[in-house]
Amino acid sequence: MAFQRRRYNYYNRLRRLLPLICAFSGALLILFALLSIFSPPPDDSDRRISKQINYGANDGKNIAVVFRVPRGGGRSDRHIWHSWNAEFFYGCCNASSKFPNANAITRSDRYLAIATSGGLNQQRTGIVDAVVAARILNATLVIPKLDQKSYWKDASDFSHIFDVDWFMSFLSKDVKIIEQLPTKKGRTWSPSRMRVPRKCNEKCYLNRVLPVLQKRHAVQLNKFDYRLSNKLRDDLQKLRCRVNYHALKFTDPIRKMGNELVRRMRLRSKHYIALHLRFEPDMLAFSGCYYGGGEKEKKELGSIRRRWKTLHVNNPEKQRRQGRCPLTPEEVGLMLRALGYGSDVHIYVASGEVYGGEESLAPLKALFPHFYSKDTIATKMELEPFSSFSSRMAALDFLVCDESDVFVTNNNGNMARILAGRRRYFGHKPTIRPNAKKLYKLFLSKGNTTWEEFASHVRTFQRGFMGEPKEVRAGRGEFHENPSTCICEDTDGKAKAGNMDSRKLGKKNKIEDGGVTNDEQKEDEDAEWSSETDYEEDHTDLQDRGLYNGTRLDYEDASLSVSDEPELEEMLSD
């Protein structure tokens, strides 16, 4: 009887608990159903890690955080708006007393004309080098012809971009310059046309061009870009600097509009960063890089890449590993935050069509919401005189980038190199070039580290890539990027500041964490950049030979880098 009573009590208690168990189970089923309805679909893209990053927003949502990116720049080991030691260096390019006046050496029967190639900044290098080539040949220079036939279809000539009168008068003691060839028997002189090899030195011009010039008296050098050696005697290098940094001045309309854009950026903030963002579909396709967009990206960029019939099949992973791919907008943003720039910093972006559009730009805008371009700070009516001409629009961006407190690039193209050299010459204003080879590994593993570790590594890897004095050894790289001959040091001022610490004086070359010197690191990266194919050169050349049938780009200056090409035979014609 006792056993039956215990069993009865047990079943009685179970009968009372059963409704509660059923209700709890039902609630769980409803909860799981709601989660399955409202949860986002699985993301099979390689971009999934970036979607787990918290950019410092506090909107109350639950976010799976791999590492939290702070809104502020945090403590930096450097002054973020100034270069170390810059006050002791200045641009110097005056001619020496041993450099004869142009009137004393110019031969009256020698005329040199050039036809530039590429976008605005590639053409700029051709103009600078043309002046030096005319000086080497003791010839009168004809105002250079700008490239009007490439895929930019820009009909601008020299006088539409640069102040011709200033150009001629400023260089009058160095080279005699005329606007067009003189007439011969009532007709304009027709020059002999030829091309010279890349990096042609002084002896090369005297051996190849001078004999033709002496015979025909007028020569036009075609596709004239990077056709002059980086290594010339000092007086010719200083002439290069006088042309690039003083004689080439934009026309009044361009300067007026450019200065107005700078003024509007200054009204928004005391300091601003200018970012030259190269992330156009054509450029990415040419590079052979892959950015995690799945089959859609591979198909889209692959179809564009097939327009270049001579390109080899690349290993995208190898390209990224060797630092040959432009940084993504998100990667640029993370690099800047790690270097100490907070979300309150204002950014001016000079770019063309960004692959992926707003989706690609969203992470950068989340990190830096004060995001501007010439299209957002100027009206369509204000830009109308320039908008149909890619070179004039590029000139506006050039001016705003040049005047910025910090210039940043995600690539090593022509505009990046020209501005890097110019900013060194005019006071070593901070110029950040990504150490892409080292940063690639860091970006790849960011999901497995803390923000503090990530930022520390970025700061270490970027030493030697910030545009500081003596960051690059004299004579290394392109002269337009590193005009070391034209940069002088105030040794007296430096001596008076002898109590400054070794880092302030620019003597701390060892990288503390890695034990690698700036020179060694720079040499490693220079070797990688210099081995790249020149996108802009190939783009133009292939089109000229009928091997490229692409459409017009929205933005000029589409080169990744300039590499040595095999010598081109001289092509002469009457």
Task: Examine the pLDDT at 193 and tell me if it is beyond 90.
Answer: yes
How is the beta sheet containing 272-277 ordered, strand by strand?
371-372, 346-351, 272-277, 406-409, 431-432
**pLDDT at residue 192 is higher than 60:** yes
Distances, alpha carbon 325 to alpha carbons 111, 291, 400, 565, in Å:
42, 9, 25, 21
Per-residue pLDDT, 300: 87
Q: Is the pLDDT reported for residue 116 higher than 50?
A: yes
Which of 361, 389, 385 has its CA nearest to residue 373?
361
| pLDDT, tens digit, 9 for 90 and up, residues 33-87 | 655 555 444 433 333 334 446 665 444 454 444 578 999 987 666 789 999 889 9
pLDDT at 313 exceeding the cut of 80: no
| 3-class SS of residue 453 | helix
What pLDDT was estimated at residue 549?
Answer: 37
Percentage of the chain lying above the pLDDT 70 cut: 74
Residues 275, 400: contact at Cβ < 8 Å? no
Position 184 confidence tier, pLDDT thresholds 50, 70, 90? confident
Q: Which residue has the higher pLDDT, 49 or 159?
A: 159
Q: CB burial class (10 A; 0-12, 13-18, 19+) of residue 311?
A: middle
Q: What is the DSSP string of 206-243?
A: HHHTHHHHHHHSEEEE-S-SS-S-S---HHHHHHHHHI
Q: What is the mean pLDDT of the chain?
A: 81
Q: Render 277-340 in DSSP notation, one character per residue.
A: E---HHHHHHHT---S-HHHHHHHHHHHHTTSTTPPPP-HHHHHHTT-SPPPHHHHHHHHHHTT
CB 316 within 8 A of CB 379: no
pTM value is 0.80
CA–CA–CA angle 462, 464, 468 (5° rounding): 110
pLDDT at 504 over 50: no
Region label for 391, one of left (φ > 0), alpha (ψ between -120 and 50) or beta (otherwise): alpha
As a whole number of angstroms, the distance between CA 88 and CA 90 comes to: 7
> Which of the pair, 544 or 148, is modelled with greater confidence?
148
Position 510 scores a pLDDT of 38
- 326 to 63, 76, 244, 313, 554: CA distances (angstroms): 29, 25, 27, 18, 18
pLDDT in the model for residue 341: 96
DSSP for residue 72: S
For residues 77 and 501, what is the distance between their CA atoms, to the nearest angstrom?
A: 14
Enclosing H/E stretch for 15 = helix 2-38
Does position 222 have pLDDT exceeding 90, yes or no? Answer: yes
What are the pLDDT digits (tens) for 80-102? 999 988 999 999 999 999 999 99
Six-digit token string for 207: 């051996």
Residue 523, CA distances (Å) to 69, 108, 325, 431, 480 in order: 31, 45, 18, 18, 17
CA 21 – CA 42 distance, rounded (Å): 33
467/451 Cα distance (integer angstroms): 25
pLDDT at 308: 78
Beta bridge partners of 432: 408
The torsion of the CA quartet 44, 50, 55, 60, rounded to 10 degrees, works out to: 20
pLDDT, position 31: 65
In this prediction, residue 506 carries a pLDDT of: 47
Q: Which residue has the higher pLDDT, 490 or 205?
A: 205
Alpha-carbon torsion angle 35, 36, 42, 47, nearest 10: -20
β pairing state of 140-142 and 177-178:
parallel
**Please, are residues 339 and 458 in contact by the beta-carbon 8 Å criterion?**
yes
- Phi–psi pair at 544, nearest 5 degrees: -60, -35
The more confidently predicted of residues 200 and 65 is 200
pLDDT at 306: 82
pLDDT of 503 strictly over 90:
no
Instruction: Return the pLDDT at 176.
Output: 98
What distance in Å separates the CA atoms of residue 227 and residue 537, rounded to the nearest whole number? 12
* pLDDT tens digits for range 423-472: 999 999 999 999 999 999 899 888 888 999 999 999 999 999 999 998 88
Question: CB–CB of 450/491 below 8 Å?
Answer: no
The dihedral sign for the CA sequence 109, 226, 545, 143: negative
